[in-house]
């Protein structure tokens, strides 16, 4: 296998947390892959791991002092030279500094001078990761095309467990390989030349001219996927059920109301789609007929006869299977309130999708109507990625990572 990281310059920024020791392992993996690794430590990182360890592994000097070697402008030089940069681990403080463009040490000045793709791998206690300030910073970074990798849900310092654990060095290595293979632009461009169709929001099935059967979907997850796909270079069609949300930049929006209209819009775009992400909450049933005039209270409680709508995702899966094709890559969502993952697996199989994003909508802090989500991503080959509570922009990128993996496989 060609090693995408061979002879590539990787800027490895390490900020100060217990997990900084894992950066040593990542440095070793990168070195083993043939990358030229420039390590930059923050002052905090230096208190957790020593420069000497990295220097021993990499056989090259490690820098941390912005005032060293002023004439050679090392921060600009290192920023320019890098093919890819990663901050591993990224503390809450360093995430905040990067999000707001602060440049108060060698790492942050170097990254401001860098034009290569940037990956940040947050590591912190759950409360810090879930704080509104940190969430906002992660979202800001993701919206600028920065790849926010993790954190994982697992053991933390001091016996705690939860979201906030640094992703493993092997995961970071894999991501760096993918990012480097995706091209040199600041914004990741691994979907450039591809067309992504995203459905979003909750459909409305009319009962009469003023009433409808609807659901609580806000459309935020689907809009986040559309925005992320556009940032990554895709031509994006967003088939949107009624939503107040603003259309993301460069995305073509197709407004629909009912499940049937959504189906027609999706099938009209099918021919050009490389990936279809069905984030919409589609009504499973609709009134057989909508009353032409408003139902009057005085006429007593109406009996509304319902009929099933077509399952769009299942129809897409069946058509693709009948054609013996592997594209478009089909991504479904499962909104569940119990046995989420088991139900998700059943949906993945029954609808013949490639990827299913399982969403436990019974939690108050995630899922419907809120900015965050917590999902498990399953693929048809048994792959499983658990994404702890994070802004929907971050989740969107993780979903697209899996989809891009299948597209390029």
What residues are labeled active site? 215
Smallest distance, Å, CB 356 to ligand CTP? 8
Phi, psi of 293 (to 5 degrees): -125, 160
> Is 403 near ligand CTP (CB under 6 A)?
no
- Beta bridge partner(s), residue 195: 235
Among 335, 340, 376, 389, binds ligand CTP (CB under 6 A): 335
Residues 280-319 that bind ligand CTP (CB under 6 A): 280-282, 284, 309, 311-313
- 110 within 8 A of 133, measured Cβ to Cβ: no
Size of the site for ligand CTP (CB under 6 A): 15
Among 29, 172, 251, 334, binds ligand CTP (CB under 6 A): 334
Smallest distance, Å, CB 278 to ligand CTP? 4
Q: How far apart are CA 21 and CA 274, in angstroms?
A: 40
> Is 333 near ligand CTP (CB under 6 A)?
yes
CB nearer ligand CTP, residue 280 or residue 407:
280
Smallest distance, Å, CB 333 to ligand CTP? 4
| Residue with tokens 């950066």, as numbered in its chain | 23
| Residue with tokens 């993701």, as numbered in its chain | 142
Q: How far apart are CA 75 and CA 185, in angstroms?
A: 19
Q: How far apart are CA 276 and CA 325, in angstroms?
A: 14
Residues whose CB falls within 8 Å of the CB of residue 49, separated by 6 or more in sequence, listed in order: 14, 20, 21, 23, 24, 41
> Is 332 near ligand CTP (CB under 6 A)?
yes
CB nearer ligand CTP, residue 181 or residue 310:
310
CB nearer ligand CTP, residue 233 or residue 367:
367
CB nearer ligand CTP, residue 187 or residue 284:
284
CB nearer ligand CTP, residue 166 or residue 312:
312
Q: From the CB of residue 380, how many other CB atoms can be counted at a distance below 10 Å?
A: 15
What are 168's two structure tokens? 């493993």
> Is 345 near ligand CTP (CB under 6 A)?
no
x/- string (CB under 6 A) for ligand CTP, residues 242-271? -----------------x------------
Among 347, 392, 398, 406, binds ligand CTP (CB under 6 A): 347
Three-state DSSP class for residue 360: strand
Exposure string (b/e) for 89-112, b if CB count within 10 Å is 16 or more? bbbbbbbbbbbeeebebbbbbbbe
Among 220, 278, 320, 398, binds ligand CTP (CB under 6 A): 278
Q: Indicate the DSSP class of residue 72.
A: G
What are 203's two structure tokens? 């459909």
Residues that bind ligand CTP (CB under 6 A): 259, 278, 280-282, 284, 309, 311-313, 332-335, 347
């Amino acid at each position: 296998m060609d090693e995408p990281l061979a002879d590539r310059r990787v800027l490895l920024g390490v900020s100060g947390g217990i997990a900084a020791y894992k950066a040593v392992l990542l440095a070793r993996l990168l070195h083993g892959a043939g990358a030229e690794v420039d390590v930059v430590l923050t002052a905090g990182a230096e208190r957790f791991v020593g420069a000497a360890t990295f220097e021993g592994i990499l056989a090259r000097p490690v820098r941390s002092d912005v005032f060293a070697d002023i004439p050679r402008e090392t921060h600009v030089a290192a920023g320019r030279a890098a093919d890819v940069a990663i901050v591993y681990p990224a503390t809450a403080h360093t995430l905040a500094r990067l999000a707001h463009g602060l440049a108060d040490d060698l790492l942050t000045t170097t990254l401001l001078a860098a034009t290569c793709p940037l990956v940040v791998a947050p590591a912190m206690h759950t409360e810090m990761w879930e704080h509104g300030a940190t969430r906002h910073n992660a979202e800001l970074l993701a919206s600028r095309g920065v790849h926010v990798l993790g954190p994982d849900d697992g053991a933390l310092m001091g016996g705690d467990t939860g979201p906030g654990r640094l992703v493993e060095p092997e995961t970071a290595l894999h991501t760096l390989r993918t990012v480097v293979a995706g091209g040199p632009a600041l914004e990741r461009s691994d979907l450039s030349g591809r067309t992504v169709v995203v459905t979003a929001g909750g459909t409305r099935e009319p009962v009469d001219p003023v009433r409808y059967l609807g659901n609580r979907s806000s459309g935020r997850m689907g809009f986040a996927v559309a925005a992320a796909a556009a940032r990554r270079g895709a031509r994006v069609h967003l088939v949107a059920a009624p939503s107040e949300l603003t259309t993301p930049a460069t995305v073509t929006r197709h407004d629909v109301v009912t499940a049937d209209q959504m189906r027609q819009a999706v099938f009209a775009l099918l021919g050009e789609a490389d990936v279809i992400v069905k984030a919409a909450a589609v009504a499973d049933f609709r009134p057989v007929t909508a009353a032409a005039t408003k139902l009057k209270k005085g006429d007593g409680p109406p009996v509304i006869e319902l009929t099933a709508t077509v399952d769009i995702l299942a129809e897409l899966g069946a058509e693709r299977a009948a054609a013996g094709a592997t594209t478009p890559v089909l991504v479904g969502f499962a909104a569940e309130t119990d046995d989420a993952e088991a139900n998700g697996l059943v949906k993945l199989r029954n609808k013949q999708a490639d990827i299913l994003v399982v969403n436990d909508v019974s939690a108050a802090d995630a899922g419907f109507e809120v900015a965050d989500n917590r999902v498990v991503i399953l693929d048809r080959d048994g792959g499983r990625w658990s994404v702890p509570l994070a802004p929907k922009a971050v989740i969107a990128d993780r979903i697209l990572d899996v989809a891009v993996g299948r597209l390029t496989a």
